[in-house]
Structure 1
Amino acid sequence: MKRLTHEPDIDTDGKDTARHREAGSVRTVGVTDDGDWFGTGDRWTLEDMLNDFARECDYALVEGFSESRLPKVSLGDRSAAPPVVATAADADDLALGEVTDIIETLPSYETPASLVAKTRVSLESVDHEGVATATVPVAELAPTDDVTARVDAANRRLRSVDGICEARVHHQQSLFDELDDVVHLVVLADDTARANEAIGEALGRLFTAA
């Protein structure tokens, strides 16, 4: 993903896709018979893109957005808001292996959809009929000095409940100043009613002081 300071110019003037966009299309996509594609659109933020990519991608390379809380590699004398995981004079001087090792230690960026997808993969052949998800701002939870401990306890509790095939509770720290940290909860169970019941119980524990 690259931050643009001008209108997208991927379209060729006079071609149908360019004309569609100029006429006001919210999204314009060109697709080949081999499945290659390009697209342009509006009203899609960096957060929207990350949320969409999180379902299928392990990594996202983002150029720009130096004021965000995304982990960054800073080249040259450019300033960037923390966290900066590496600096170098230019790309040739960058120790890519070391950067990769650092990135592997950082928390992953997750959404309810990405957590459901990963949880289903971990179950492999285990049958499950019910899926339930919930997202709550950390600020609304019971006061605690250790959100991680609260999340870990919720994970252990959910996975020990009868009828629950798999569960994940994830503390997603905000990458943007205007957004709050949240906790995502995902439960896969024998049936939907059991999944919803387990989510409700977990939320009750998170909202109640230990």
Structure 2
Amino acid sequence: MKLIGFAGWSGSGKTTLVEQVVGVLSARGLVVSLVKHAHHSFDIDHAGKDSWRHRQAGCREVLVSSAQRWSLTRELRGQPEATLDELLAHLGPCDLVLVEGFKRAQIPKIEVHRAVVSEPLLHPDDPNIIAVATDVDLVTPLPRLNINDPVKVADFIVDWMQG
């Protein structure tokens, strides 16, 4: 299983690019999984649903299953946030795991940067960044990928996987 991250500041377009790249890679027959970091409290459950009610009642984990999918929700209840390695251990077999967020993780990453984001670039201080997907004409020793061309970003990832 190969692993590559997409790192960038909020508003840089990570989610849009990752969504498009997943579509390209999946169409090529690759089995792709994703780990996404959220900086805020989030909930994939809905108030009033059985699984939500069970969590509210105190369940640490609730696993919901159907013929189409299953989902496991774990309440941390004061425990530390899971590490990337701990989260990866929960994934099934796949060809490639894309990691969105986790910008400080010690994994190969593509930096995502748009002109509208005023935050500083990450790659000058992060040796794990192997390319930059951007809409800016950057001067960088790293490969520069067009953020608006997910096919070329996918091509880069496939080449990297084979390297």
Short-chain TM bin = 0.5 to 0.7
Q: Which has the higher contact order (CA 8 A, sep 6+)?
A: 2
Note if contact 1:21-1:28 (Cα within 8 Å) is conserved in structure 2: yes
Say whether residues 1:75 and 2:112 are aligned partners.
Answer: yes
In the alignment, the residues of structure 2 paired with residue 104 and residue 25 of structure 1 have an alpha-carbon distance, to the nearest angstrom, of 43
Partner of 2:16: none
Note if contact 1:72-1:82 (Cα within 8 Å) is conserved in structure 2: no
The counterpart of 1:86, out of the listed 128, 131, 137, is 131
In the alignment, the residues of structure 2 paired with residue 22 and residue 6 of structure 1 have an alpha-carbon distance, to the nearest angstrom, of 19
Say whether residues 1:56 and 2:93 are aligned partners.
Answer: yes
Q: What TM-score do you get using the length of structure 2 for normalisation? A: 0.54
Note if contact 1:85-1:99 (Cα within 8 Å) is conserved in structure 2: no
In the alignment, the residues of structure 2 paired with residue 10 and residue 31 of structure 1 have an alpha-carbon distance, to the nearest angstrom, of 14
- Map 1:191-206; keep pairs closer than 5 Å: none
Deviation for aligned residue 1:8? 2.8
Partner of 1:102: 160
Deviation for aligned residue 1:67? 0.5
Residues 3-55 of structure 1: CA distance to partner in whole angstroms, max 9, x if unpaired?
Answer: 012233110111111122223322112111x14112211364321122333x6
The counterpart of 1:12, out of the listed 16, 36, 46, is 46
- Map 1:174-185; keep pairs closer than 5 Å: none
Note if contact 1:20-1:28 (Cα within 8 Å) is conserved in structure 2: yes
- Greater Rg by CA: 1
Note if contact 1:85-1:102 (Cα within 8 Å) is conserved in structure 2: no
Instruction: Identify unmatched segments of 5+ residues in structure 2.
Output: 1-34, 115-120, 136-146
Q: In structure 1, what residue type is equivalent to 2:85? A: E
Identity %: 32
In the alignment, the residues of structure 2 paired with residue 45 and residue 20 of structure 1 have an alpha-carbon distance, to the nearest angstrom, of 25
Q: What TM-score do you get using the length of structure 1 for normalisation? A: 0.43
Question: Size of the alignment, in residue pairs?
Answer: 103
Greater fraction of residues in helix: 1
Q: What do you get for the CA RMSD once the two structures are aligned?
A: 2.2
The 4+ residue runs of structure 1 with deviation greater than 6 A are: none
Partner of 1:38: 71
Question: SS state of the match for residue 102, structure 1?
Answer: helix
In the alignment, the residues of structure 2 paired with residue 6 and residue 28 of structure 1 have an alpha-carbon distance, to the nearest angstrom, of 21
Q: Which moved more, 1:36-45 or 1:61-70?
A: 36-45
Evaluate the alpha carbon distance shift between residue 7 and residue 60 of structure 1 in structure 2; reply closer, same or farther with a 3 A threshold. same
Q: In structure 2, what residue type is equivalent to 1:14? A: G
Evaluate the alpha carbon distance shift between residue 20 and residue 82 of structure 1 in structure 2; reply closer, same or farther with a 3 A threshold. farther
Question: SS state of the match for residue 65, structure 1?
Answer: coil
